[in-house]
Structure 1
Amino acid sequence: MAKRQLRVLSVASECAPLVKTGGLADVVGALPAALEPLGWRSRILMPAYPGLLERVGRTRRIWREENLFGGPASVHSCRYEGLDLLLLDAPHLYDRPGGPYMVDGHDHHDNHVRFAALSWVGARLAIEGTSDRWRPDVVHAHDWQAGLVPSYLKYAGAQTPSLLTIHNIAFQGIFGPDQLDALHLPTWDFHPDALEYHGLVSTLKAGLVHASKVSTVSPSYAQELTREEFGFGLQGVVSMRGERGELSGILNGIDTEVWNPATDPAIANYSAADPGAKAANRQALIEEFGLEEPAGPLAVVVTRLTHQKGVDLLLEKLPTFIESGGAVVVLGSGDPGYEYALGELAARYPQSVGLHIGYDEPMSHRLYAGADLVLVPSRFEPCGLTQLIGLRYGAIPLVAATGGLRDTVVDATPEHLADGSATGFTFSDIDAGGLGFALGRSVDLYADREAWERLRAQALNTPVDWGTSAAIYAQLFTELI
């Protein structure tokens, strides 16, 4: 008799390619395909934001409830671009203008209700199963938006184990205790060892307390979260889970079919074995942004323009980099002050700075393909996908030595260059001085074309897929059941 394929319910607020605001969506969308050969079949529960049901086409209703926190709701099952999706249709919660979390620059006023509802339905599906007789063996909850799934399972006395993955601890899903009854949470568990967080409720803390196990998206980030400077007030509960052996750091991978320079339709194709067309992409990028051919490396920045991402450090040190022969193209949006300052930088160096405010997926592919360097000076970075895509496309990562950046980029020291293990540049002093020194090192190495080509070859040959990490997730799920 064939062995039954094990089942995981992934609960998340976004999933590529349907809805994406950051790396969370990429992980949720890519992990199922990597888990399937290992015996785990995934279904992804996410909200049916406006237009999603029409976009995915034919669906089957597999669950409904007449009053889900203020209105009727149903779950619709479908197969879309290789993913098994469960779309939670609750118009009173999700059918509104704006993005998944914000409208006109402000959070939706009822985000705590909207994502408690998502968590509630995730727990109900785990306990009751669906009308098509599917019930998961494990629930995988992602970030604060699904943080209450483990809590609802616990309060229902359910036996289904859960894993909570922290993609970014800075976002915690905080609301007032006056909402506990409305969200079906017990007031008797409002205390510091459970739901209470400085007089409020944090859905992320609830998940950290109640999940069977906890994971983060890199080994270094798992360790950093036990420290005050990175834990955002939750370092105590993270440390407790670590001391019990219930905390894992598992690196993200990227979808190497979507991100494949050998087949990417947005660029002139090349590969690790034949990187020749990399030069043509570089020239095309220079022409697209109207730049002069730089004497030094052509760097790109693909990021949210925020303090966390170290944009202020870039603004301080890019002029020196440019005057040393470098050039830079920036793609991103965020803080209006940073957008304005980058516009001023582009006006000051029109032949060396390209700028596109906003996000454009095909353009991002062109940037990675044309770049010599990809800059990621984040003050903290749970895992980071930008540097992984850079490696895949031979755009040498220059990164702050924090979180997953530290775990995925090997610094181009003389020793690492000599033994062939170097894949990029790292800096440990995460300030303007540290970034400036690393940029200077990149300019110096770029002048040695033979050494630079060897570094690029090592980057192109670095594994960035989900293979190793998916096996760790599969083992963790197996331990849970």
Structure 2
Amino acid sequence: MNVLQVSAEIFPLLKTGGLADITGALPAALRSVGCDVRVVLPGFPAILADLSDSWVLAELTAPWGERLQVRQGRLRTLAVDAYVIDLAHLYARPGSPYEDAWRQPYADNHRRFALLSWVAAQLAHGLDAHWQPQVVHSHDWHAGLTSAYMTFMPLTSLRVATVFTVHNLAYQGVFSPACFYELGLPYEAFAVNGVEFYGQVSFMKAGLYYADHITTVSPTYAKEIQTPQQGCGFDGLLRTRSSSLSGILNAVDDTVWNPATDPHLPSPYQVQDMAGKAYCKAVLQQELGLTVKSDAPLFGVVSRLTDQKGLHLVLDALDALLARGGQLVLLGTGDAHLEALFKAQAAQHPNAVSVRIGYDEAYAHRIFGAADVILVPSRFEPCGLTQMYGLKYGSLPLVHRVGGLADTVVDCSLENMAEERANGFVFDDFNPQALERAMARAFALYARQPEWEAVRGRGMQQDLGWYSAAQQYAARYQHLCA
């Protein structure tokens, strides 16, 4: 089964969030179940720099008239064959892949990511004479136009199936209707039954409408996005497509996230010998100027600082956490007002609160290695990888019962403890009081170390690997091709 993966990011070459972790791990996972996977990516500098043995597969003219090259080669770091769009004018820029240094979206993002989908469609239509995909699997709004372009291309004898994965429905790739005329799609595509979304163009909607099958990154999120509360305006469309919608839970790459082999940790550890975790905690406390106390539960946050992530609840509950003797370490970046509020708390409580604004992959690993509890109180969460990393590293996740958080974390209630299913702490009502009650359960369990260690060990031994997810994707591909 030949599969072409279409995405804007891929770990470890380019990452702004969990999307890159998934698109970086999925090719190898699919190879383990018999798929031949290649990737197509925008020519961001970090991606081009990793492309080895490359040559120009084709020179093309974009729908709006710009000339570009499609380079073919192999990504050294990932050991995967790749097609990369070489057009420095669009991709060799400062800032993130999507925003400039002032956190403003680039004005021509519609061109930058339409081109990714357009090139993927050319590859599906035979651009590479030596390799033909049977399935094109595109990820999130950046690649949402892929199936739209494929729908309106001339028919060939080989039908290529399309899969579109929603990683976060809230980010929709919405652009002015004037942008439509640069995309190279026929006029009939700008309609309710097409890419039009409240008078504008939505790349996300294109994927939802035109793809043969839609997947989301957890079973619960697949149900939630069919409701007005979490459908982000697409719930009606998604209900009509419910028979072509499924949730496949994300997984964790054990070669990257494994406390026994993690090079970022000051000491490795595993479930049979947790001394290294205590050492990781003491080292981080000392480094950050926190009071070095083994019996002070250390709560960790590694997150984008946005309202979606529920971090205002953490701010509201922070006094209660500190009053019980807990500590907080946070790494993240995002909304300026949340950054300022957390920095103010760190200044007010330097022995108990540490805040670092930005993103640092190695430091994130060290937080997971040191923390006793990982906080993920998201308002909504398509899947969430943070809670899975917490489980792998023996940092019990404390989560709001939504999306993939509900699919992976079982609360330490008495009945769940008795049935040996508990692996963390879960609250239902999205308010500070519910979060504080879950924190109180965490403190109570931490005071009973034998029980804490049993729950922690159970979480660390969960199967969170990619094999099951890869099997589900491969089965879906086979079904579509059949």
Asked if TM exceeds 0.5, the reply is yes
Quick one: distance in 2 between partners of 1:357 and 1:188?
46
AA aligned opposite 2:112: R
- 1:270 is matched with 269
After TM superposition, the structure 1 stretch with the greater mean CA deviation from structure 2, 37-46 or 397-406, is: 37-46
| d(CA) in 1 for partners of 2:386, 2:240 | 31
Contact 1:427/1:434, CA 8 A, preserved across alignment: yes
Corresponding residue for residue 107 of structure 1: 105
Match of 1:285 in 2: 284
Please state if 1:147 is matched with 2:133.
no
User: Which residue identity lines up with residue 98 of structure 1 in the other structure?
Assistant: G
CA RMSD of aligned residues (A): 1.3
Give the letter aligned to residue 174 of structure 2: I
2:396 alignment partner in structure 1: 396
Q: Residues 58-82 of structure 1, C-alpha deviation per residue, up to 9 Å, x if partnerless?
A: 3122222144534221122222222
- Alignment of 1:437 with 2:441, yes or no, is no
- The question of 1:196 aligning with 2:223 is answered no
**Take 1:292 and 1:178, find their aligned partners in 2: how far apart are those partners?**
57
Matched, 1:10 2:11: no
Q: What residue in structure 2 maps to residue 261 of structure 1?
A: 259
SS state of the match for residue 332, structure 1? Answer: strand
* Counterpart residue number, 1:75: 70
- 2:329 matched to which residue of 1? 329
- Matching of residue 214 in structure 1 with residue 214 in structure 2: yes
Q: Residues 357 and 179 of structure 1: is their aligned pair in 2 closer, same or farther, counting only changes over 3 Å?
A: closer
Q: 4+ residue runs of structure 1 moved beyond 4 angstroms?
A: none
* Distance apart, 1:52 and its partner CA: 3.2
Match in the other structure for 1:59:
54
Residues in 2 aligned to 1:296 and 1:276: alpha-carbon distance in whole angstroms: 16
CA shift digits 1:7-30 (9 cap, x unpaired): 100001111111100000010010
Partner of 2:88: 91
List gaps (5 residues or longer) in structure 1: 1-5
CA distance in 1, matches of 2:339, 2:171: 23
Q: How far off its partner does 1:180 sit?
A: 2.5
- Taking structure 1 as reference, are residues 299 and 51 closer, same or farther at Cα in structure 2, changes over 3 Å only? closer
Equivalent position SS for 1:292: coil
For residues 257-285 of structure 1, give each alpha carbon's deviation from its aligned partner in whole angstroms, at most 9, with x where no partner exists: 11111111111111123222111111111
Q: Which runs of 5+ in 2 are unaligned?
A: none
CA distance in 2, matches of 1:51, 1:198: 36
Separation of aligned partners in 2, 1:67 and 1:372: 51
Q: 8 Å contact 1:69–1:117 — kept in the other structure?
A: no
Counterpart mapping for 1:241-260 below 5 A: 241-242=241-242, 245-260=243-258
Which residue of 2 is the match for residue 227 of structure 1?
Answer: 227
CA distance in 1, matches of 2:281, 2:231: 40
- The DSSP-based 3-state class of the residue aligned with 2:45 is coil
How far apart, in 2, do the equivalents of 1:168 and 1:381 lie? Answer: 8
Deviation for aligned residue 1:296? 3.5
CA distance change for structure 1 residues 254 and 173 in 2, over 3 Å: closer, same or farther? Answer: same
User: Does structure 2 conserve the Cα–Cα contact (< 8 Å) formed by 1:144 and 1:172?
Assistant: yes
Query: For the Cα contact (< 8 Å) 2:64–2:184, is it kept in 1?
Result: no
8 Å CA contact retained: 1:9, 1:139:
yes
> In the aligned structure 2, how far is the partner of 1:376 from the partner of 1:338?
16
C-alpha contact 2:63 2:182 (8 A) present in aligned 1: no
- How much has 1:236 moved relative to structure 2? 0.8
SS in 2 for 1:227: coil
Letter in 1 for 2:70: V
Which runs of structure 2 are paired with 1:128-143 in the superposition (5 Å)? Answer: 128-131=126-129, 133-143=130-140
Offset at 1:433? 1.4
Distance 2:119 2:401 in 1: 39
Q: What's the CA shift for 1:400?
A: 0.7
List per-residue Cα deviations over 1:439-470 (Å, max 9, x = no partner): 11101111111111111111111111111111
Counterpart-to-counterpart distance in 1, 2:84 and 2:310: 36
Take 2:356 and 2:73, find their aligned partners in 1: how far apart are those partners?
Answer: 36
Residue 50 of structure 1: how far off its partner (Å): 2.7
TM-score for both structures, normalised by structure 2 = 0.96
Q: Is the 8 A contact 2:297 2:325 kept in 1?
A: yes
188-197 vs 413-422, which deviates more? Answer: 188-197
Matches within 5 A, 1:404-419: 404-419=404-419
Mapped partners of 2:81, 2:71: distance in 1? 11
User: Structure 1, residues 217-274: CA drift from partner, whole Å, max 9, x if none?
Assistant: 00010000001111110111111111xx110100100111111111111111111232
TM-score, structure 1 normalization: 0.96
The Cα offsets for residues 109-128 of structure 1, whole Å up to 9 and x where unpaired, read as 01111111110000000012
Identical-pair percentage: 42
- Measure, in 1, the Cα distance between the counterparts of 2:195 and 2:351: 54
Q: Partners of 1:39 and 1:63 in 2: how far apart?
A: 28
Q: 1:54 to 1:413 in 2, by over 3 A?
A: same
Give the secondary structure class of the aligned counterpart of 1:261.
Answer: coil
Q: Which residue of 2 aligns with 1:3?
A: none
Structure 1 residue 157: deviation in Å?
Answer: 4.2
Amino acid at match of 1:378: S
1:10 counterpart SS class: strand
**2:298 maps to what in 1?**
298
Indicate conservation of the 8 Å contact 1:331/1:359, yes or no.
Answer: yes
Whole-Å Cα distance in 2 between the matches of residues 157 and 55 of structure 1?
34
Native 8 Å contact 2:290 2:350 kept in 1 = yes
Task: Return the letter of the residue paired with 2:286.
Answer: E
Is the partner of 1:128 in helix, strand or coil?
coil
Q: Give the distance between the partners of 1:448 and 1:176, measured in 2 at CA.
A: 57
SS in 1 for 2:438: helix
Contact 1:296 1:447 in 2 (8 A): no
Could you say what secondary structure the match of 2:169 adopts? coil
The letter for the 1-side match of 2:238 is: V
What's the CA shift string for 1:64-103, capped at 9, x where partnerless? 2144534221122222222222211112221222211000
Q: How does 1:350-361 map to 2 (within 5 A)?
A: 350-361=350-361
Tell me the alpha carbon deviations over residues 402-438 of structure 1, each in whole angstroms, 9 at most, x when there is no partner.
0000001111111111121111001111111111111
My pick for the range that moved more, 468-477 or 50-59, is: 50-59
Amino acid in the other structure paired with 2:284: L
Report the equivalent of 2:371: 371
Q: Say if 2:63 and 2:184, in contact at 8 Å, map to a contact too.
A: no
| Further displaced range: 76-85 or 459-468 | 76-85
Worse-superposed segment, 67-76 or 153-162 = 67-76
